[in-house]
Structure 1
C-alpha cells in the first residue's frame, strides 16, 4: 500500500493496534456517556413540557368549574369567568411558545391541543345559555384528560429509578388534581341547580373514587418530602370542609335541595385544588432537579472520557514521534541533499556547460546516524556525480544540436533567398504566359521553403533577419502570410480592419499567421474554405482563422494550447505538429496570445491577439 512506503507510516502501523484499542474503549465510554447526557437533557425537556401542559390544565379546570356553576343556574360565577378565561388563554400561549422549540414530547401535546379549537364556540353558547352543563363538563374533561395523557406519553425517566419514581409521582398527583378539579366543577353545577339530576350522582361517585385511588398511589413512589406536603394539603381547613360537604352531598343524593351553598363549595374546593397543584409543582421541580443532576453527572463523565481518549491519542503520538525522530532526521538530511542536487547543483552545472565551462565537483552529503544511512549517503553522492555528468553531457549535446540546426537553417535560408532572387529575375524577363505561370509556382514553392527554413531557426531561438524599416498594413501582412501556404486559394478574407504593424515584427507575424492558416487548411476538407477575420480592439489587434474541419477533442485542444503557449519543448513532441511549436515560440517572442477554441458549428478557431505595442500609431497630418 502507498501509505506503508515511509518509515514514519510503518512505525505508526506498529503502534496502531494498541492505540486503536485504547481509542475504541475510550470512544465506547464516550458514546455511552454522550447518550446518557442527551437522554437526561431530553428528560428535562419532557418534564418542562409536562409542567407547561399542567399549567394550562389547571386553568382549564378552573374555567370548567365556573362554567358548570353558571350553566347550573348560579349567576354569581359570571363575574369570575372572564378572568379565568383570560388566564386559560395566557397559559395556552405560554405552552405554544414552549412547543415552538420542538422539545421531546411536543408532537402528542400539539395533537391534544387540537380539540380546543372549539373552546371559543362553547364559551359563546355558555354565555347565552344554549349549552348544557353536561356538554360543558364533557368538553373540558376530554380536553384536560387528553392533554394530561399526551404530556406523560413516554415520560418514564429512562434507566434512573429515582427519576422514574419522580415522574410516576407527578402523574399520580396530576390524576388526583384532575379528579379533585372535576369533582369541584361537577358538584358546583349540581349545587347551582339545587340537587342531583339525571346521571349527576353516579358521575360524582365515580369521580370521588378516582380521586381516592390516585391519592393512594402517590405515597408508593413519592419522596418523604412530597408525601408530607400531600398530607399537609389534605389536612387543611379547606380540605376538611371539602370532605364534609362531599359527605353531605353523598348522603343527600335523593334530597330535593342539597344543604350546601355553591359559593362555599367553590371556595373550599378551589383552595384544595390549588394546594394539590402546589404539591404537583413541587413534584415537577423534583423531577427537573433530578434530570438536571443526571445531565450534569453525564457531562462530567463525558468530559472525563473525552479527556482520557485525547490523552491516549496524545501519548501514542508522542511515542510514535520519539520512535521515528531517530530515523527520520538522517533521512531528512538525505532528502535535503537530493533537493539541493535537483534545484541548485544540476541547474548550475547545466548553465556552466551551456556556456562552455566545466561542470565542477559536487559537494558530499553529510549524513550521521546508523551505518546503513551513512552508506546510503555515500550512494547518493555517487548518484549525484553521475547525474551531474549526464546532465552536462545532455546539455552539451542539445547546445551542439541547436547550433547545428541553426547553421543548417541559415544555409537553407540563404540558398532559398538566392533562389527567390533568381526566380524574380527570370519572372521579370519572361513574357510567355505558360512559362511565367510555372515560374510563379516555383516562386511560391520557394517561399514556402523559406518559411520552413525560418521555422527551424525559430525553434533553435534564432531571430529572423528580415526586417522592414516602415510600418506595414495588416492587410498586406495577412496576404504575405497567404503567400507562404500551399492552398492559399481556399483562404477567404472576411474582414480586415485597418491597422499598421511595426516593420520589425512583420516577418514574424506573417510567419505566425502562415503556420496557423497552414494547419487550418490541412484540417479542413478540400472542398471547404478557411476564413480569416481581423479586427482592431481596445486590447490589441485580433486575427481569427476559422476552419470547417472535424474539430478537436478537449484533450487535443489542451495539448495544442500548451504548445502554442510555449510551455512545451519541441524536443519532447511525438505527433510531428512542429507548426504549433513554431507558432508558440513566435507568439512568446512577440508578446502575442494564441489559443485554439471550438468553432460555433464545427471545426476550430485559432485566435491571435497582437499587443497594442506592435501597432504603429497613425500619422497626424500637418
Structure 2
C-alpha cells in the first residue's frame, strides 16, 4: 500500500497554512451567515409591518362603512349619501392590499385567508340598501371581518428580536385595538341613536365596547414613546373627544329612556373625528415601527456587507500572506536550484574544459577560477545552503584540477614511455631488416620474418599508447599510397593474418599523412574480428570507393554482440568515451575511437547478414588523393 506524501515545499507550506486559513474562513462564514440571517429577519419584519399598515388601511375603511351602514339600518336615511363614497374607499383599499399580497410578503397567506371573511360583502351591501339586513347583521359581519384582518396582520409580529421594534409593534397593536373599539362604539351607538334608544342587547354591547376602548387606551402609554404618548393625549383632549365622552355619559345615563338626547349626526361627526385622530396616532406608530424595521434592515445590511468584506479581506490577506511566505521560500530555493543547475551544466563543465585545455605552462588554479555568485538579501538558512553549494563547487573544481594534473602527468609518462618503446621497436625493425638482407638460409630467414612480424605488432602497441595520450603518429609518407598497400600494411600488424581474406579492394590513393593512422585503425578492427571468430573461420575484408568517400568493411563470423553491446561498442568507436573509465580489455576500441575522430572517419559495428559482426569504416573523401594509379590486389591469405 502506497503512502500519500507531499513532495514539494510549496504544497507543504500551503497545507500548513490551510488549517488556520480554513478556520478563519469558517468563522467568517458563520459570522456572515448570522448577519445574513439577521438581515433576512429584519427584511421580513419590515415587510410584515408594511403589510400590517396596508391591512389596517382597509380596516379603517371597513370601520367607516360599518358605522354608516349601522346608522342607515338604524333608520337614519341621511347616512345613505355618505355610504357610497365609503364603499368606494373600502374597495380601493382592498385593491391596494391585493397588490401588496401579490408580491408574496411574509404573512400574506394569513391575510388572504382573513379576506375570505369579506366574501359576502357585496350581498350584505345589497341587503343594507334594500333594508332586508338588520343592524346586528351588519355590525357582526363587519366586526368579524375586521377582527380577522387585524389578527392576521399582527400574527407574524409576535417576536421581532429588537426591543424598540417590539415596543413599537405592541403600541401599534394597542392603538389598533383602541381605534377598532372606538370605531365599533361609533357604529353601535350610531345605530342606537338612529333607532332612538337602546334595544335588546344594545346596551350591554355598548358598555363592553366602551370598556375595551378604555383598556386599550390605557395600555398604549406603557410601551409607546413619549411622542406617541403626547400625540394620544392631544387626540383625547380635542373638542371632538370631549364631546364623545359627554355623549357616552348621556347615553349610559339614559339607557332606559325612550329616546336618547343625542342626535345621530352630532355623534357621528364627533366620533368620526376621534376615530380619525386615533387612526392618525396609529399611523404614526405604524410609521415608527416601519422606520425601525427599515433601520434594522439597513443596519443588518451594512453589517452583512462589512462582515463579507472582512471575511474576503481576511481570506485574501491569508492567501496573500501564504503566497508571500511560500514565495519567500520557494523562489530562493528555485534560484539555488537554477544556480546548481548552471554550475552542473555550464560553469563546472566550462571550468573542467579550461582545466583540460590548459597549456603545459598555464596555472591550472587560475584556469579553474569560478565566477563569484550573486545572492543578495537571502535568509540565513538559504545563505548557508548557498555557501554549502559554493564549497561543493570548489571541491569539484579542486578534484578536477587534481584529476587533470594526474592525467597530465600520466599522459606525459605514457607519451614518454610510448615514444621510447616506439623508438626501440623501430631500431629493432631496422636491425632485423639488415639481417634479412644478408641472410640466405631459408630456415633462418623464416625465423627473421617471424621476428619482424612480432616487432611490427609491438610497434603498433607502442603507437596505440601514443594515440591514447593524443600524440600524432611519427610515421608519415610524402606521397599518396594505394589503399591495397594500406590494407596489406594493416594485415602485417595482426597476428593471424593468414585467416584474413581480401574479397575486393577498389583502386584509390590515400594521402600519405594518413596512411599510418588508417592502417593502424584497420589493424585494430581486423584484430578484434579475428579474436571474435573461431580459429577455423575466416575474416573477410571489402574495400569500395563510394561517392562520399572510401568504405572498408571487416566481416567476422563469430557469436556476435547484443543490441546493448553494439550500442556501447559504437560509443567507444565514435570517441564518445574515455579509455580512463573503460575496461582495459577494450583498449583497441578506444584507439579506434581516437583515430576515427582524428581522421574524421565514421566507424560502426552492425550485425553480419548470417551471424557475427561487420565493422564498417567510411573514410572521408578529403583523405583521398586527387591523382589515382591502378592498384591490383588479388585474393591472398
Query: What TM-score bracket applies, with the shorter chain setting the length?
Result: 0.5 to 0.7
Report which stretch shifted further, 162-171 or 328-337: 328-337
Is the 1:157–1:167 Cα contact (8 Å) retained in structure 2? no
Equivalent position of 1:15 in the other structure: 17
Q: Deviations over 1:490-509 (max 9, x none)?
A: xxxxxxxxxxxxxxxxxxxx
Equivalent position of 2:236 in the other structure: 234
Q: Deviations over 1:252-284 (max 9, x none)?
A: 111111111111111110000000000000000
Is the 1:65–1:188 Cα contact (8 Å) retained in structure 2? yes
| CA distance 1:95–1:4, shift in 2 (3 Å) | farther
Deviation at 1:127, TM superposition (A): 0.6
- Rounded to whole Å, the distance in 1 between the matches of 2:199 and 2:5 is 89
Deviation at 1:173, TM superposition (A): 0.2
Correspondence list, 1:525-536, <5 A: none
- Rounded to whole Å, the distance in 1 between the matches of 2:52 and 2:4 is 58
| CA distance 1:4–1:172, shift in 2 (3 Å) | farther
Equivalent position of 1:429 in the other structure: none
- Rounded to whole Å, the distance in 1 between the matches of 2:49 and 2:317 is 43
| CA distance 1:128–1:310, shift in 2 (3 Å) | same
- Rounded to whole Å, the distance in 2 between the matches of 1:309 and 1:197 is 71
Equivalent position of 2:51 in the other structure: 49
Is the 1:157–1:163 Cα contact (8 Å) retained in structure 2? no
Gaps of 5+ in 1: 338-365, 379-622
Gaps of 5+ in 2: 340-372, 393-637
Correspondence list, 1:467-616, <5 A: none
- Rounded to whole Å, the distance in 2 between the matches of 1:335 and 1:39 is 58
| CA distance 1:312–1:2, shift in 2 (3 Å) | farther
Equivalent position of 1:278 in the other structure: 280
- Rounded to whole Å, the distance in 1 between the matches of 2:12 and 2:141 is 75
Which of the pair has more CA radius of gyration?
2
- Rounded to whole Å, the distance in 2 between the matches of 1:50 and 1:159 is 18
Is the 1:3–1:9 Cα contact (8 Å) retained in structure 2? no
- Rounded to whole Å, the distance in 2 between the matches of 1:301 and 1:270 is 45
Q: Deviations over 1:81-110 (max 9, x none)?
A: 000000000000000101111111111111
Report how many residues are paired: 353
Equivalent position of 2:87 in the other structure: 85
Deviation at 1:311, TM superposition (A): 2.0
Equivalent position of 1:142 in the other structure: 144
Is the 2:178–2:212 Cα contact (8 Å) retained in structure 1? yes
Equivalent position of 2:297 in the other structure: 295
The DSSP-based 3-state class of the residue aligned with 1:104 is coil
Is the 2:72–2:79 Cα contact (8 Å) retained in structure 1? yes
Q: Deviations over 1:577-613 (max 9, x none)?
A: xxxxxxxxxxxxxxxxxxxxxxxxxxxxxxxxxxxxx
Alignment of 1:223 with 2:225, yes or no, is yes
The DSSP-based 3-state class of the residue aligned with 1:97 is helix
Equivalent position of 1:504 in the other structure: none
- Rounded to whole Å, the distance in 1 between the matches of 2:324 and 2:217 is 70
Is the 1:43–1:157 Cα contact (8 Å) retained in structure 2? no
2:112 to 91, 110, 113: 110
The DSSP-based 3-state class of the residue aligned with 1:153 is helix
- Rounded to whole Å, the distance in 2 between the matches of 1:3 and 1:85 is 81
Deviation at 1:155, TM superposition (A): 0.2
Equivalent position of 2:583 in the other structure: none
Is the 1:330–1:367 Cα contact (8 Å) retained in structure 2? no
Deviation at 1:25, TM superposition (A): 2.5
Q: CA RMSD in A?
A: 2.9
2:60 to 55, 58, 61: 58
Q: Deviations over 1:32-81 (max 9, x none)?
A: 22222111111111110110010000000000000001111111111110
Equivalent position of 1:306 in the other structure: 308
Is the 2:240–2:274 Cα contact (8 Å) retained in structure 1? yes
Equivalent position of 2:198 in the other structure: 196
Is the 1:238–1:271 Cα contact (8 Å) retained in structure 2? yes
Q: Deviations over 1:420-439 (max 9, x none)?
A: xxxxxxxxxxxxxxxxxxxx
- Rounded to whole Å, the distance in 2 between the matches of 1:93 and 1:6 is 70
Q: Deviations over 1:108-155 (max 9, x none)?
A: 111100111110011011111111110010000000000001110030
Equivalent position of 2:97 in the other structure: 95
- Rounded to whole Å, the distance in 1 between the matches of 2:385 and 2:268 is 100
- Rounded to whole Å, the distance in 1 between the matches of 2:12 and 2:90 is 71
Correspondence list, 1:372-521, <5 A: none
Equivalent position of 2:40 in the other structure: 38
- Rounded to whole Å, the distance in 1 between the matches of 2:124 and 2:337 is 89
Is the 2:117–2:148 Cα contact (8 Å) retained in structure 1? no
Q: Deviations over 1:525-562 (max 9, x none)?
A: xxxxxxxxxxxxxxxxxxxxxxxxxxxxxxxxxxxxxx
Is the 2:56–2:150 Cα contact (8 Å) retained in structure 1? yes
